[in-house]
Amino acid sequence: MTGATTDASPAGGSGSRSAGRVLLPVATGRQVRAYLRRVMRGRRPLLCATAVTMIAESLLGLVGPVAIGWITQAIADHRGVGVLVGPVVLLATSTVAGAAAGWGSTVLLARTVLPAVARLREETVAAAVELPIDVVEAGGAGDLVSRVSGDAELVSDAASDALGSFIGSGLAILAALAGLAALDWRFALAGLLAVPIQAHTLRWYLRTSRPIYAGGRVADGRRASALLTGFTALSTLRALRLGASQRDRVEAASAESMDYEFRAVRAATRFYGRLNLAEFVGLGAILLVAYFLVRAELVSLGAATTAALFFAGLFGPINIVLGVFDGIQQAGAGLARLVGITTLTGARDAGRPAPGPIGTAASLTAENVSFGYGEGPDVVRDISLRLEPGRQIAVVGTTGSGKSTLASLLAGLRRPRTGTAALDGVFLEYIDLPQHHVALVTQETHVFAGTIADNLRLARPEATREAIDDALHAVGAHDWVEALPDGIETPVGGGGRPLTASQAQQLALARLWLLDPPIVILDEATAEAGSDTARALDHAARQVTRGRSSVVIAHRLGQAAHADIVIVMENGRVGERGGHEELRAAGGVYATLWAAWSQASSGPA
Ligand SMILES: Nc1ncnc2c1ncn2[C@@H]1O[C@H](COP(=O)(O)OP(=O)(O)OP(=O)(O)O)[C@@H](O)[C@H]1O
């Protein structure tokens, strides 16, 4: 099992604990490097071509100062205008060629790096979608959202912008230093006086800003979690008048996040201030050296001008390179959080047995499955069952006995604490998107923003009009959908036409019909027993389970009468197990429940 949310994540990434919550893991430096090597594999030729055009761009950038130096010298020597033609043509050509090389390097960089960033985004979103619910719950959905949005944005910006500037400016610096040395080694030496100050400043800045950025990203995740909790639990918070305390939580998370931002800005201001000092020292030294060298006639005035221009021309690239560390540090913190998500599925895949083909006649088994929420006690205890192809198991029990929890374990949405849930012998957590094999309809059905047809085509994008009508007929929703002004094209969900709970449930069942999975698990409890709605939903449920293997959480006891096996849950355990008639005859808990049910309702539907 991948206990992904503990401090020592299974993949070795470090999870962080905050305010009692264990956040999703953050990848280690080694994991990030391994990930980068993997995504950049096969892109080496493009990367080399990018580097070559960047070097060309930087070298061409040096031609300008050299040409201006020649021109200055020619004017100082009172030479004829004809002498200027060569340097001027060189200046113009190098400018055009430099612009072309700059364009080429930008295009190549985009082709090299942007697909890698896109892949990182895709992989992390895919990994995030596959995370078991308990991992997301423990880590906080907000943290996950902030990773796949904010962190992905930082990495994308750094890769497409900062990285290019970093490489280009780094090369420009090297070339300019070489140019300085070529003019006179003493110029290079004078310019190098700035380096110790810059190196010290950079070391100080990296040491200071790394924890600020890492902490800031985590704080942003926490703020997103607090906000998301506020939105998703809005009605509960309002009903219980808990708005103020939730607002306090959001404010505290925002204050923490802002504190990190202030600290980052303070560090950056001091960083740039110290860099200005380094420039002042370097340029002062070069001008001093130039003064003495020209006076001693060891270098020409033109060479001295070129040297000063070279050094002044270094300010921009140096500031860019050092400033880019800012972006790279932030992106590094974001990248570690993104790769942290992929380590969870990576750890799962490392232990994954090669799954054989899972057929449509697969059998679903649970062996000694136990589960509890968070660090709480087990609410499902030591349950074993086997669902044979085409058979139906009904699970009954009092409220809170663990039925819905068992349903989510059998659907692979949650992972057992101990024991295993498997499909044809393959553990559910080793199967990509087990919903393709096992589909679950829960008590909370989400109506997605879009038309009714859009909602149904989520299950099968290529579904024809006829297929959609069939599905609606099967679940008994065809008539009310047809009666809507735009039929299946009527907008529903998020601002669209409101649907009743049982209509939403019917749409969920129609989606299931289109999805056509071999195994279905039904855990819906929208309708009051004995009502017309209950009868309609029971009919729809029977339609979608016909010919399939199914587990029906029988919130209305009448649903159990048609099952091959009935399991009675008591306090998380299997209390009784057997056929409907067999259990009725046994005179135990089920018989009592059934008698009460039959009396209270107008009879089984
Ligand atoms: N997300 C959760 N976090 C913590 N505890 C939970 C969570 N969901 C359920 N529980 C607890 O687990 C136990 C089993 O709940 P479960 O919903 O599985 O029971 P159930 O038999 O399906 O109940 P019902 O018929 O009311 O839906 C209950 O004590 C419940 O309070």
* Higher-pLDDT residue of 246, 309: 309
Structure confidence at residue 162 (pLDDT) = 67
The structural domains of the chain, ordered by start, are 17-345 (1.20.1560.10), 364-600 (3.40.50.300)
Does any ligand 1 atom lie closer than 6 A to the CB of residue 572? no
- The protein residue whose alpha carbon is closest to atom 24 in ligand 1 is 399
Q: How far is the CA of 141 from the centre of ligand 1 (A)?
A: 20
Helix ranges, 77-183 (H): 82-130, 133-139, 141-146, 152-157, 163-183
Each residue of 516-535: b (16+ CB within 10 Å) or e? ebbbbbbbbbbbebbeebbb
Q: Whose CA is nearest to atom 18 of ligand 1?
A: 402
Ligand 1 binding pocket includes 402 (Cβ within 6 Å)? yes
Ligand 1 in reach of 379 Cβ (< 6 A): yes
Q: pLDDT digits over 95-130, tens only?
A: 999 899 989 988 887 788 778 878 887 887 777 777
User: Could you tell me the distance, in angstroms and rounded to a whole number, from the CA of residue 395 to the centre of ligand 1?
Assistant: 14
What share of residues in the chain are helix, strand, coil (percent, to 5)?
A: 65, 10, 25
Phi, psi of 564 (to 5 degrees): -75, -40
Atom 12, ligand 1: residue with shortest CA distance: 379
Atom of ligand 1 nearest to the CA of 397: 21
Closest ligand 1 atom, residue 555 Cα: 25
Q: Kindly state if the Cβ of 570 falls inside 6 Å of ligand 1.
A: no
* ipTM of predicted complex: 0.97
Q: How far is the CA of 406 from the centre of ligand 1 (A)?
A: 10
Both structure tokens of 429? 């957590």
CA of 498 to the centre of ligand 1 (A): 28
How much is the average pLDDT of 467-482?
A: 92
In 493-533, where do the E strands start and end?
Answer: 519-522
Q: Indicate whether residue 315 lines ligand 1 (CB < 6 A).
A: no
For 310-340, the pLDDT digits (tens) are 888 888 888 788 777 777 778 888 888 888 8
Q: Whose CA is nearest to atom 10 of ligand 1?
A: 373
pLDDT of the residue at 42: 80
CB distance 420 to ligand 1 below 6 Å: no
Going by pLDDT thresholds of 50, 70 and 90, the confidence category of residue 223 is: confident
**In the predicted model, is pLDDT for residue 213 greater than 50?**
yes
Q: Is 133 in the pocket of ligand 1 (CB under 6 A)?
A: no
Q: Which of 373, 522, 557 to mutate to test the pocket of ligand 1 (most atoms within 8 A of CB)?
A: 373
Q: Which residues lie below 8 Å from residue 38, measured CB to CB, with a gap of 6+?
A: none
